């Protein structure tokens, strides 16, 4: 073979080998870095841009896509120990001309974390209102979406700042009393009785605990490689002390039933989406909301657990769009009448 041709193949092979080796090294040695790159790439692919907003000395980190238009903007509030990127699986199935905003909740990811901050549910709702005012999202009423802890905050927000929102979607929200104890609640009781409350199932410190948390939160059994489990743990461990503090704050008597205490004040049309096999927050909470909120639409998803956003993203996105279309149609009929 001609030496020049041979050199060309060697150079080409070496060029291809470098990124492959880099990927393998990242997967084996720095899985947490690979996870961050994954989210960065997914945001780019979906057209989500990251920005910061400041309220006095407090900083909010958020991602957004699109601009405010004739349809309501959508603000999404994530759950406990998650971050704004958890919504990417839903964003994938939403029209690009919708104005979407996903914010890191107080103390999470890029939003300010302060030991002096009020992390109760009402305190978090107040912070989210400051964020809304910062980016002037409430120039027109917007649609508010919240899941789990974020659902609790979203419900309280709707009750305390009714002029800001036109409609509400609650996905497996916390903050409700339940007639049936979920698997998670039973685990918490056992830990309290054994004085092992530090071992909270939603705050894993090892790959094995991470695998257990994923099983607890989802009905669908995802096969997650050990290295990815390790990466997920590595990303969370620096924040676990904060998560423990936050968890104790939101299960405290002041916040435990915040949504239940405020749901009588929710006047906006409300959509409730819940996984039938939710092991974290029992699905019976959906009927509690339906009986207390006048204009409430309930959807129970079969073969789905607590992580509705991850397990059924297309279905969830479609339900939100159908709900907004229904409200738009109803408004038009009222105007014509």
Whether residue 331 lies in the annotated active site: no
- Return the axis-axis angle of helices 31-46 and 226-236, rounded to nearest 10°: 80
Identified catalytic residue from 85, 104, 278, 282:
278
Identified catalytic residue from 108, 143, 297, 306:
306
Whether residue 198 lies in the annotated active site: no
Q: Phi first, then psi: give them for residue 13, nearest 5 degrees.
A: -65, -40
Residues 96, 42: Cα–Cα separation, whole Å: 15
Give Cβ neighbours of residue 10 (< 8 Å, ≥ 6 apart): none
Report residue 302 as tokens.
Answer: 């079969």
- Helix locations, the chain, DSSP H: 3-29, 31-46, 88-91, 121-134, 149-160, 183-193, 207-217, 226-236, 240-250, 258-262, 285-292, 308-311, 313-336
The whole-angstrom distance between residue 298's C-alpha and the CA centroid of its chain comes to 19
- Return the axis-axis angle of helices 3-29 and 31-46, rounded to nearest 10°: 100
Residues 2, 275: Cα–Cα separation, whole Å: 64
DSSP three-state, residue 260:
helix
Report residue 308 as tokens.
Answer: 């509705």
Site of tokens 């959807």: 299
Contact yes or no for 270/296 (Cβ under 8 A): yes
Whether residue 196 lies in the annotated active site: no
Identified catalytic residue from 120, 148, 258, 307:
148
Give the residue numbers annotated as catalytic, written as ranges: 148, 278, 306
């Amino acid at each position: 073979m001609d030496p020049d041709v041979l050199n060309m193949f060697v150079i080409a092979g070496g060029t291809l080998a470098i990124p492959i080796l880099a990927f393998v090294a990242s997967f084996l040695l720095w899985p947490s870095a690979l996870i961050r790159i994954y989210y960065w790439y997914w945001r780019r692919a979906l057209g989500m841009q990251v920005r910061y907003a400041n309220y006095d000395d407090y900083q909010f980190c958020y991602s957004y896509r699109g601009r405010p238009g004739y349809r309501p903007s959508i603000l999404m509030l994530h759950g406990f120990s998650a971050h704004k990127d958890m919504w990417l699986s839903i964003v994938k199935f939403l029209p690009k001309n919708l104005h979407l905003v996903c914010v890191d909740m107080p103390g999470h990811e890029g939003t300010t974390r302060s030991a002096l901050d009020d992390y109760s549910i009402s305190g978090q709702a107040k912070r989210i209102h400051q964020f809304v005012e910062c980016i002037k999202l409430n120039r027109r009423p917007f649609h508010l979406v919240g899941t789990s802890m974020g659902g609790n905050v979203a419900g309280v927000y709707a009750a305390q700042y009714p002029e800001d929102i036109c409609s509400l979607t609650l996905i497996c929200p916390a903050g409700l009393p339940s007639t049936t104890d979920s698997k998670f609640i039973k685990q918490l009781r056992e830990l309290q009785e054994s004085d092992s409350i530090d071992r909270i199932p939603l705050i894993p410190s090892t790959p094995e605990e991470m695998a257990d948390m994923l099983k607890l939160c989802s009905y669908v059994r995802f096969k997650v490689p050990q290295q990815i489990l390790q990466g997920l743990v590595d990303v969370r461990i620096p924040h676990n002390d904060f998560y423990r503090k936050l968890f104790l704050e939101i299960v405290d008597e002041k916040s435990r039933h915040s949504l239940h205490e405020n749901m009588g004040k929710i006047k906006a049309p409300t959509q409730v989406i819940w996984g039938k096999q939710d092991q974290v927050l029992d699905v019976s909470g959906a009927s509690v909301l339906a009986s207390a909120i006048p204009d409430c639409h309930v959807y129970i998803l079969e073969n789905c657990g607590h992580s509705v956003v991850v397990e059924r993203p297309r279905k969830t996105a479609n339900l939100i769009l159908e709900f907004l279309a229904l409200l738009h149609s109803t408004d038009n009929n009222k105007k014509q009448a």
